[in-house]
Amino acid sequence: MLLVTAPRVISPGEKVALPISLFIQKEGIKELSIKVEGNDLVSFGEKTKSVSVSGTGEKDTEFSFTVGEKTGVARISVTATGGGESATYNMEMKSEVLILRK
């Protein structure tokens, strides 16, 4: 099982951390492969990671991405596979220019 955390609203040019919590519920899984994909509004420097695990429990990892210069709806998909199991988490964030007013 996966849980991905990100802000609801992002701004063009912003660099954003994407924390991922992995919940391992099956014994015998030694390594997980994590893959991130995004639409044209987000750019990942690193798109895949291997995470070593030992037994059941929770393991955290993180990716980071840069928001493109256009505004709209950014879509991200995170997939974890390992030990014959697979989990996917899809999310959307609104990319807009924020104007602060006094």
State yes or no: pLDDT of 101 exceeds 60.
Answer: no
Contact in structure between 96 and 8 (CB atoms under 8 Å): no
The length of the chain is 102
User: Distance between CA 29 and CA 56 in Å, rounded?
Assistant: 8
Q: Domains (ranges, CATH) in the chain?
A: 2-95 (2.60.40.10)
Distances (CA, A) of 86 to 4, 17, 90: 15, 23, 14
Q: Which pLDDT band, with edges at 50, 70 and 90, does 102 fall under? A: low
Contact in structure between 46 and 62 (CB atoms under 8 Å): no
Between strands 72-82 and 85-95, the pairing is: antiparallel
Which residue did the predictor score with more confidence, 98 or 48?
A: 48
